[in-house]
Structure formats: C-alpha cells, structure tokens
Amino acid sequence: SYRVRRVARPGVGVSDLVIRLLWLLCLSTVCAPGAIENFRSMAPKRAAAQAAASVARAFSTKKAKTEKTTTRGIQEDQMLASTAHNADVTRGGWRVSAAVEHLSSSACGLRDLVAEHGEPGFYKDVQNGSSMCNFQSLAKAIVYQQLAGAAASTIWNRLLGLASEGQTGIGRSEKESHSHGHPEEPGREFLTPIRCQALGEQRLRTVGLSKQKASYVLDLSRAFAEGGLDELQDMSDDELRAKLLAIKGVGPWTVNMFALFTLHRSDIMPTGDLGVRKGMQAHFGLKALPTPAKMAQLSEPWKPFCSLASWYMWRKAGTVLPAASSKS
C-alpha cells in the first residue's frame, strides 16, 4: 500500500495532484475491464427493453386511433342507417332493403343482378299520393302506350306545354296544390282533368296524340272529374284493377305500370310487358319468350316483391324503363 502524506500548507501542490491522478489510474486499471464487460452484456438487454417499450407505445397509440376510428365509423353507420331507414320506405309501405335482401337469396337467384345494378331509384319519387298526381301518372301512361320512348317523351312534353299555356296567372295556393314534386317536368302541375276537358280533343291532337289517344285522355279526365278515383292508393290490387280497367283506354299494362311505379305496390308482375318477358327469357335461359302462366310460375319465389324483380328483369333485358317511371 502506498500512503500519501499531505503537506500542511495552504492549497494543493503539484505533487498531490500527480499522486491523485496515479491513484485514479490504478483504480481504473483494476475495475475498468469488468465494468466494460458488464456494460457490453447489458447493452443488448437494454436495447431489447427499449425496443419493447417502443413497440408497446406504438401499439397503444394505434389501438387508441383504431378505437377512435371504429367509434366514428359506428356513428357514421348509425347515421346512414337512420337516413336509409327513412328513405327506404316506399309509398306502398314496404322496404326496398327487405326486398333486395329477399331477392338476393339463393331461392330467388337474383344476387348477381342485384350486385350489378344495385337498388332502383323509382321508389324515391316524391309523389304525394293525391288524386291529381294519380291522374297525371295515368295520363302519361296512356300517352306512352305502344310508342318508342323518344317519340312518347316529345308528345308528353308538348302536352304539358299545351296545358300550361295561359296558366301562369294561376293562384299560388292552387298551383301549389297541383305540384307533385316533378321539377324535371315543368308544366305538369297544370295538367288537370278540368284543363284537359277545356282543351278538347282537337287541341289535344295538336301535340301529336292520335284521335284514339286524345279520346282516352278525355275519358280519363272525365272519370277523375266525376269522382270515385280519389282513394286509389287505399284499394287492394284487385279493386284497383277493376276500377281502372273500366276506364276507356286503360288496359292491364297501364294498370300494372301505375300500380308499380306510382303507387309502389310490392308484388306486381307485368306479364304483358315485353321487356320483362325478354329479361326472364335471358335470365332463365329460355328458348322462347315465356307465357304469362310460365312467368307466374317462375316468379313464385320472388313473392311478395315481384315489382322489384320486374325492375331487375328490365335491366337484364337492357330495355328502356316504362314511361310511368321518372326515375331509374
């Protein structure tokens, strides 16, 4: 052992500093190897611990973000579901989502068509169910009978223009009572039974209507003016059919289109419609167009939503939808 003797004098001498440095050097020589080895052996553990802590922090952050996103997603889904809940109900009281789910089942076999074309939009048509709206829809169906879409559309728009001539001064309250949510058809609110009777057959023919169709529109206007057709939406399918078929110019096809697109009846199978027949022929791989009896048999699994199935048959055939539908 080496003993350092301090000299009793003020301050610290140079020799004392040298001795202390040599002493620290000796201690570092003895202790340093073990300390270094210990540090080296602890380094991987320390690095691993740090990495684990980093992963834990990242996972915690990601979990928090995921939970936040999931919560927001659930809230958005609930909001959309609430909106769909209101928009999903048709004028006929049935739900399009329920119909789509039913037709997508294996028993109905329309899953591919549903996936390709989605849900129809005609049920969203903002019609208020009034007698006036029903008259206009039936009048439009008569105009479109046995005509190509473009030609029928031209005649229909001319008829609306004729009905609105000189009617701009109509009282606001009366005009609003005739309005039925058809901004894409200006002048439709003026097409009333009284207005059609006032125009007469000759003026109706000036828009391109045949003599026969002009007389049909007049017969329809008289039937509505006389009453008895104010509550069509409350009638059963059979009552509706009997009531409308009694009007000259209104046949089974017109009744079916009116029930399907205007009243939104859920279970209408228009067996006389060529587009639906072509669609069913293609869908079922038939060699010939199906007869009404065959269509009734094949559409049995689609009940009680044959109306929506008919819409998919029109899509299958690639035909233009009937004029009674102003929406896709």
State how far the Cα of 159 lies from the Cα of 191, in Å rounded to an integer. Answer: 8
221-262 per-position pLDDT tens digit: 999 998 878 788 889 999 999 999 999 999 999 999 999 988
Give me the percent of the chain exceeding a pLDDT of 90.
Answer: 45
pLDDT of residue 176: 39
Lowest-pLDDT choice from 76-85, 123-132, 211-220, 300-309? 76-85
Return left, alpha or beta for 146; rule: phi > 0 is left, psi -120 to 50 is alpha, else beta.
left
Helix or strand (DSSP H, E) at 204: helix 193-205
Q: Which residue's entry shows tokens 């080895």? A: 37
Rounded to an integer, what distance in angstroms lies between the CA atom of residue 312 and that of residue 263?
Answer: 18
Structure tokens at 231: 């509550």
On whether the CB atoms of residues 296 and 101 are closer than 8 A, the answer is no
Place of tokens 């004029």: 323
Q: Is the dihedral of CA 309, 310, 313, 319 positive or negative?
A: negative
3-class DSSP assignment, residue 210: coil
Q: What is the DSSP string of 228-268?
A: S-TTGGGS-HHHHHHHHHTSTT--HHHHHHIIIIIS--S--
Q: What kind and span of H or E run contains 41?
A: helix 14-87
State the pLDDT at residue 258: 92
> Which of 22-26, 136-140, 205-209, 272-276 comes out lowest in average pLDDT?
22-26
Give residue 277's pLDDT band: very low, low, confident or very high (50, 70, 90).
Answer: very high
Q: What is the pLDDT of residues 129-175, one digit of tens each?
A: 555 789 999 999 999 888 877 888 899 999 999 999 877 644 333 34
- Say what the pTM is: 0.65
Q: Tell me: pLDDT of 104 over 90.
A: yes
